[in-house]
Chains A and B, each alone.
Chain A
């Protein structure tokens, strides 16, 4: 009974608004978009959600863990994922691809990078940066009582599965890797260090809101080469793996549940066309982190200011 009324209503809407083509064949179930705990992803999710709503869909947002989400996409519990970072989630994504149930919905026109990073004032105490050998030469400047005489590198949470410890060993660096437990812990230490002018080197990534708050640079390690993480022969240290930096131009993909194309064809078509640039992503993050807007308001504002960007995607 409810279903029939609903589909009649949907048909009526389709008939009335010519801009929504053939919606009658589309499912009226909500498209579930997962949000994570960093602002650019949340705003982007709302931007895309509001685009879908513009197309006549209902959308639901659900906050989930950024690693566990691939399992949820596979099962169809959530419909898509808008930020698949090569460095952070490449492994989880390709594992999910192998298991099936998830499809690659194309790349954003953006590059991602995850690497050791320092705030700009560190260059005063450690000349020669951003080269990693220069960093190693002044490792003692980064020492804390528990790591002395070695320097202290503040890595991301262990569950991000970075291989900083292996890299320190492969490149023979005088650093101790200390893992923070969350991104919030990274920023809290950075904020405190900056206030005191204390040298610090920590894990960071781009695009990220932190760039706008604290100017800084990535450390330049031996450039990433294919095979450097598995094959000891690749890279400067011929005996060990992980003797290189992370890819400086990692992909940023979109992923979708493999049933999405069938269930919401127009939305899927739009999703494959959607592509944001680094600048656009940084701007979205800025609206929330610097201008302190709520994500849904930030998304509405971004959509209003950038109609020429997103209108072509739904035509």
Chain B
């Protein structure tokens, strides 16, 4: 299809050739595949002379770096510095960590080292006040309730461990990202060096750089923070470059006219003008840091991620879900706070406004904090709720998951057998059958069709790395799983995304009634689950009589349903969908891998199902974004010329949204590649499994080479998709 469009698009004459070359390459690929039985082994699979000992080389290089150059002194010193920062952060949040990082004199004078953490009540109050001040009482309530949840559900200590790592990792990533971004913006050559490194850092799966981090920085929370920084910095760099580049020259000139030095122009003109982009970068950093919470615990970070893995290990799904909810709440809270901060404009007060009006929120906050401190004197629970006294809904979730599995197991078995035998196994064989030269030819054809010789060379070199690294067969299994997952994710995400962004049907029309019915059903289900959880929690505190329990359930149901109905009345489908995307994206993927195994057993169906859940998110998101971005004037024009809804969609909205949707597809591929590696925890035979093996063997080189294989596939798809989308956008005049 790509080929067809490219061919159709090419104007007669000059650009006629690329399509021909692409077709020729494709024909070569088909020919080679058909001739496979007659071909020599060296064409079917990478011959031995082609496979370079890259991982051995890398290992020797790292050995040399560590032992002969003494690089480990630097890395260990850096690790110690990060450790000191962590000590400092946890002295405020969780004083269970060893000692205090400050000299005794400082300790005694500022009361940092009393051995008491800041009471949870103060966090809740501060969250409420900051949220209200930055945006609205709704955000304030969200922040306050997040801390209440963490405290009341016994997650406090772990959450504070996680937060203390986030508190170190975020500023480090932001600072590093800003400095690198500013350098790249200033020096062309630096950007040219940095860009491929950024692409690599974002497409190498996190699991494969854990081992190098362990070797250079050791194990523990500092290692977790360093791995997190590697993962979280690239978006900050990108946003900094983007922001600084967008600063209009007028702003700079006016600064220079005032006689500002270069530093002053940077500090007072460039950075404030690029504020919005830089703050989006900060927001991205925060989200990336939280996405790493579970992964970082593989190399010794304590906190929510570590507990989550331990709970999953002993199959305590209910407890894991509670932790998952904690992570989502923290992520949503920090995401919203940082966005609100980015959007908040400075407030200007009229001259003569009294101090207490200008600082009303500060006064409210101080008052509440004093009240909270008094409360801690009255009762210990206002300071800390011990885990044993905390309430928990874990049995509720366990029972829920049990019911759901019992319900679904019979149909799931049918689906599994069908998919495995009729769909997946044939596709898998099909991916393994073609000679590797045929695959390269096909890849070159796609590259040529999209961007001519240059693109063809780029993608061929990337994919050839799979052959050269010696992991061709494993890579093809990864490719097959990702392809199936992406096709299914598009099949789900595209229609749902398009549906969600259709204009709202007018009130009273059949479509409107249908929407209302769906919405009410959804509200009813959610409130029933919520009410059951409320009753369950009450049961564990004071066992009520059945009659009381029944009426309690109904009351809770009515209250929750009313609340959701009121709150979501103005929420459009697309906004609701985006909310759902945010939740799924921050919910730790490890949790739903377990129920998926229980349904489908350990096999490719389970692994692909796990990948789809995660991979559909960007497809949905970008479809909604793309449809939103279609100029209303064009849709109106189509309407005026009498197009039906379907015609409008087919001939105007979809083609115009397609470039953005293609970016979504690209992101879906990237997400799926990351997730397919995590699916190794279910049990796969692809690169992910080998990365796990490299992790067990502490083999740095092998781990990195496998990571590069995944990155090579991701970068090739990325190249093709962005090229195509850019060309398309230009053609559409967007």
Contacts and interface: CB of A to CB of B under 8 A. Distances in A.
B597 A189 contact: yes
Interface of B: 97-99, 103-104, 211, 214-215, 218-221, 297-302, 306, 309-310, 312-316, 319, 387-388, 402, 405-406, 409, 417, 420-421, 425, 593-595, 597-599, 601-603, 679-685, 688-689, 692-693, 695-698
A289 B314 contact: yes
Contact of B214 (A42, A68, A92, A181): A68
Interface string A38-52: 110010000000000
A215 to B, nearest CB: 16
A154 B698 contact: no
B197 to A, nearest CB: 26
Contacts of B696: 65, 67-68, 92, 159-161
A281 to B, nearest CB: 15
A92 B698 CA distance: 10
Where chain B touches its partner, the secondary structure class is helix
B218 A184 contact: no
- Tell me which of A1, A34, A62 has the highest count of chain B C-beta atoms within 10 A of its own C-beta: A62
A196 interface: yes
A75 interface: yes
A38 B602 contact: no
Given A62-B302, A157-B683, A181-B682, 17 more contacts: A58-B98, A60-B97, A62-B220, A65-B298, A68-B214, A72-B218, A146-B425, A154-B602, A157-B692, A180-B602, A181-B681, A181-B684, A181-B692, A187-B315, A189-B598, A192-B601, A294-B387
Contacts of A72: 214, 218-219
Contact of A158 (B402, B417, B693): B693
Contacts of B594: 184-185, 188
B358 to A, nearest CB: 43
- Tell me which of A5, A39, A71 has the highest count of chain B C-beta atoms within 10 A of its own C-beta: A71
B219 A145 contact: no
A192 B598 contact: yes
A178 B602 contact: yes
Nearest to B679: A181
Contacts of A182: 313, 681-683
Contact of A68 (B310, B409, B681, B698): B698
Given A157-B692, A292-B316, A71 B682 contact: no
Interface in A289-306: 289, 292, 294, 297
A289 B220 CA distance: 25
A1 B692 contact: no
B284 to A, nearest CB: 28
Contacts of A145: 417, 420-421
Nearest to A200: B601
A2 interface: yes
Nearest to B597: A188
A37 interface: yes
20 contacts: A39-B313, A61-B302, A62-B302, A67-B695, A67-B696, A68-B696, A75-B218, A78-B219, A92-B696, A145-B417, A158-B689, A179-B602, A180-B602, A181-B679, A181-B684, A188-B598, A189-B601, A191-B598, A192-B405, A195-B406
A19 interface: no
A72 B698 CA distance: 10
A180 B683 contact: yes
Contacts of B302: 61-63
Contacts of B405: 192, 195
Nearest to B604: A146
Contacts of B388: 297
A30 interface: yes
A191 B313 CA distance: 13
A123 interface: no
A180 B211 CA distance: 22
A109 interface: no
Given A145-B421, A158-B689, A288-B314, A67 B698 contact: yes
Contacts of A30: 98
